[in-house]
Structure 1
Amino acid sequence: MTRIGFIGLGIMGGPMAANLVAAGYEVTGYNRSQPKIDKLIAEGGKGARTVAEAVRDADVVVTVLPDSPDVEQVVLGSDGVLANIASGALLVDFSTIRPDTTRAVDEAAAEKGVRTLDAPVSGGEQGAIDAALSIMVGGTAEAFEAGRPVLDSVGKTIVHVGPAGAGQTVKAANQLVVAGNIGLVAEAMSFLEAQGVDTEAGLRVLGGGLAGSKVLDAKGPKMADREFKPGFRLELHHKDMGIVQAAAREVGVATPLGAVATQLVAAAVAQGDGSLDHSGLFRQIARLSGRE
């Protein structure tokens, strides 16, 4: 049985760890809050008191963390993953972070004989629960093949997109598209409501035409119902749009629509909506017209 050390049991990590347990892996999880560890234990996994304890005997180490500084601390810290992981093990980072941080982790891991995959995911909480995530994977072909069984246990669309850091670059592009799409769906919803149109009927017909998208299907009803329980928090999308803008600037790429979406997301977070699902961007769009 492959032993997996799993770091980060939050909205995404918790269901992913549970799916790995269900797939037959021996999963030892660590999280800063004990209730998340207790939940994994109830689902058949094991708990660890420290990062070191979680990864010391693992064949594969998985991290699902909020941001680049978290990955740097947990992976590169003095008593972190690389200080305790066995040579020859595989490190799979499902976090969404800066591509340059991923490359730094890969270089440090290589010095210890550890293979890495940057494997950011898309699909939100429900995708994590259903093991139906889209996973964009960076790393060597050999590491990708070694990690494929683990990836298959948590995802549905799994694509090797290039060397270390490439997964994070594709995820940045994903977040750019999603933010812009959410913003336009929010504008359309605000427009339909102002015109007195039945929004349920409007969403249904829009979804059947060229305007249809997964974002429209998943987020439009949330906007109509004003139900913004977080599947993916606005504050995290705010962080991701910062990654997009910085990475685009590095290579001299203009993202004019992305810049507008970035500012709208930032404004929503600044006005206290950061803990809402990113469909909560609707509130910011509606406020611009005095409708929320």
Structure 2
Amino acid sequence: MSKVGFIGLGVMGTPMAAHLAGAGHDVSGFDLSADALAKLTAAGGRAASDVADAVAEAEVVVTMLPDHPQVEQVVLAAGGVLDVVKPGTLLADMSTIRPETSIAVAKAGGAKGIRVLDAPVSGGQAGAEQAALSIMVGGEAEDFEAASPIFEVLGKTIVHVGPHGAGQVVKAANQLVVGGIYGLVAEAIVLLEASGVDAGTGLEVLAGGLAGSRILELKRKSMVARQFQPGFRIDLHHKDMGIALAAARQADVALPLTGLVAQLVAAGRAMGHGSLDHSALLKVVEELSGREG
């Protein structure tokens, strides 16, 4: 069992840290939310007073933060993770951020003898709560092997996808596919209903054929019922689509469908739906069609 410092106890981080504590790891966590710290304590972890307190004695540090500015502040700033932990410590940043930030963190960590992995996840709140996340990991192979006992507590699909930053590129690809499928399912619902066909019945057929997907399996009923309680908010998917487009620009490739999906997600945010689940792209498509669900 390892001493784990866990920074970022949001809707994903809280259950993830709880799983690690439940598996017998010695978990010290920090978040700005007192409620999140209380939940960690109830799960058997320790509520730290600040970042330094959480990671000072850690063998493994996990960060699960909203975006690259928070990662840079927590990890790279004076008094942050890299200033506090001992050489040899393993840092797994499981946030979804820009690949270039992950590479910069790895370079800064390497200069201090700290092993770094970028390990973003897919699966949303439900995947975090069920310890069924997909984890895509960039970094050195030996560091991936060392972190595997931690990852195995948190996820079901755990793959070393390449060097530093590669995990973030794979996550960007994941998000553009997920966003695209949500957009198409939304269009299918609007078409079915406008044509007088029961959308639930139609999607049941689609889910059993070549059009079947994990999204249709898990979300078709809630989408038809217009239940958009957030498992993964449009606000966060908007951020992720920006990462995907920036990665495309960096790689000098054209992703026209990704650009369109990014605009639909941005429209959802502009319409005031940012706090809703990303399946609420249905509301955007309905608005474009002059229809209400």
Q: Secondary structure at the match of 1:273?
A: coil
In the alignment, structure 1 residue 283 sits paired with structure 2 residue 272: no
User: Are positions 1:94 and 2:104 aligned together?
Assistant: no
Give the superposition deviation at 1:215: 1.3
Q: Distance in 2 between matches of 1:287 and 1:85?
A: 51
1:208 aligns to 2:204 (yes or no): no
Amino acid at match of 1:56: A
Q: May I ask how many residue pairs the two structures share in their alignment? A: 292
Q: Residue 168 of structure 1: CA displacement?
A: 0.3
Does residue 150 of structure 1 match 2:111?
A: no
1:252-271 to structure 2, matched below 5 A, reads: 252-271=252-271
Written as runs of structure 1 = structure 2, the 5 A alignment for 1:1-292 is: 1-292=1-292
- The Cα of 1:56 is off from its aligned counterpart by 0.3
Residue pair 1:18, 1:43 contacting (<8 A) in 2 also: yes
Q: Distance in 2 between matches of 1:73 and 1:218?
A: 36
1:36-88: CA deviation from partner (whole Å, max 9, x where unpaired): 00011011111001000000000000000000111011111111111111111
RMSD (CA atoms): 0.8
Post-superposition offset of 1:158 = 0.5
Aligned-pair distance for 1:156? 0.3
CA distance in 2, matches of 1:90, 1:108: 13
Specify every segment of 5 or more residues in structure 1 that has no aligned partner in the other structure, as ranges.
none
Partner AA of 1:197 in structure 2: V
Offset of residue 223 of structure 1: 1.3
- How many angstroms does 1:196 deviate by? 2.1
Measure, in 1, the Cα distance between the counterparts of 2:191 and 2:60. Answer: 49
Q: Please give the TM-score of this superposition, normalised by the length of structure 1.
A: 0.98
Shift of 1:194: 1.3
Q: Which amino acid aligns with 1:185?
A: V
> Distance in 2 between the 1:76 and 1:205 partners?
50
Distance 1:196 1:133 in 2: 38
Cα distance in 1 for partners of 2:211, 2:47 equals 45
**Could you give the per-residue CA deviations for residues 140-193 of structure 1, whole angstroms, max 9, x where no partner exists?**
011001000000000000000001000000000000100101000000011111
Q: Report the Cα distance in structure 2 between the residues aligned to 1:80 and 1:201, rounded to whole angstroms.
A: 53
> Greater shift after overlay, 260-269 or 190-199?
190-199
Secondary structure of 1:161's match? strand
Q: Distance in 2 between matches of 1:30 and 1:222?
A: 33
| TM-score relative to the length of structure 2 | 0.98
Distance 1:40 1:280 in 2: 30
SS of residue in 1 equivalent to 2:272:
helix
Tell me, which stretches of 5 or more residues in structure 2 are unaligned? none
Deviation at 1:219, TM superposition (A): 2.3
Q: Which amino acid is 2:257 matched to?
A: L
Contact 1:189 1:220 in 2 (8 A): no
Percent of aligned pairs with the same amino acid: 61
Q: Which moved more, 1:195-204 or 1:7-16?
A: 195-204
Counterparts of 1:291 and 1:86 in 2: how far apart (Å)? 58
The superposition leaves residues 101-133 of structure 1 with CA deviations (integer Å, 9 ceiling, x where unpaired) of 000000000111100110000011111111111
Contact 1:10 1:36 in 2 (8 A): yes
CA contact (8 A) 1:183 1:281 kept: yes
Do the aligned partners of 1:182 and 1:219 also contact (CA within 8 Å) in 2?
A: no
Output the amino acid matched with 2:161.
V
**Aligned to 2:4, what secondary structure does the other structure show?**
strand
Instruction: Verify the 8 A CA contact 1:186 1:220 in the aligned structure 2.
Output: no
Provide the secondary structure at the position in 2 that maps to 1:24. Answer: coil
- The superposition leaves residues 262-292 of structure 1 with CA deviations (integer Å, 9 ceiling, x where unpaired) of 0010011011111101001110111001112
